[in-house]
Amino acid sequence: MEFLDEDLSKYIEEHTENEPELLKSINRETHLQVLKPRMLSGHLQGRVLSMLSHMIKPSRILEIGTYTGYSALSMAEGLQKDGLLYTIDINEELEKRVQSYFNQSDFSNSIKFLKGNALDIVPTLDEKWDMVFIDADKENYLNYYKLCFDQVKQGGYILIDNVLWSGKVLAKNRKKLDKDTEAILGFNKFVHDDERVQDVLFPIRDGLMILRKK
């Protein structure tokens, strides 16, 4: 579902900071060569992630769901000197491609690309997070949130993608309630009711939830 008129979306991107050349290449190659390219953050959301990272000035970032590395590289732009970004993905088929993109970037020494199940990996990371971005399998959104919450610093941020789920969070936009939609609805309600965080849901692309840990 497109939430904005196509021409208006084009205008918004034309009046948003340009993608760095590497990200532009990743965007293009993902759409040409990789399955489900809609999973890519893309120009507008990528610049939003970069802007937020510059505002937060994180020392440690955790990303759950790497895909082709676009969002990781966007957030890495705001890292403090000697900061680290850990990104986790279970898809081994994209590993060489993603590592190649990271190696081409200015952040090759700042990104730790971990392969495997985030539910197993996150508990092994002895870090305190300034910023977390969750963009993986929807059924585990709440599990990822609960898993990393105690490691997020007070005043830290948790960002979650796809929380509007192509508009299917509204009953009128779906034929049936599938497991992913049910998981998104449950997650959105849980974090909205969670008094430990301040929550804002932005209608950016497929919905970007931003939480600040009080």
Q: What is the pLDDT of residue 2?
A: 67
Q: What is the pLDDT of residue 43?
A: 95
Reading the block at residue 62, the tokens are 């955790």
- Segment 48-68 shows an average pLDDT of 98
Taking each helix axis from N to C end, the angle separating 179-193 and 141-149, rounded to the nearest 10 degrees, works out to 30
CATH number for the domain whose boundaries are 6-213 = 3.40.50.150
Q: What is the pLDDT of residue 5?
A: 86
pTM for this predicted structure: 0.96
- Segment 107-113 shows an average pLDDT of 97
Residue 113 has pLDDT above 90, yes or no: yes
Q: Are 28 and 101 in contact (CB under 8 A)?
A: no
Q: What is the pLDDT of residue 1?
A: 59
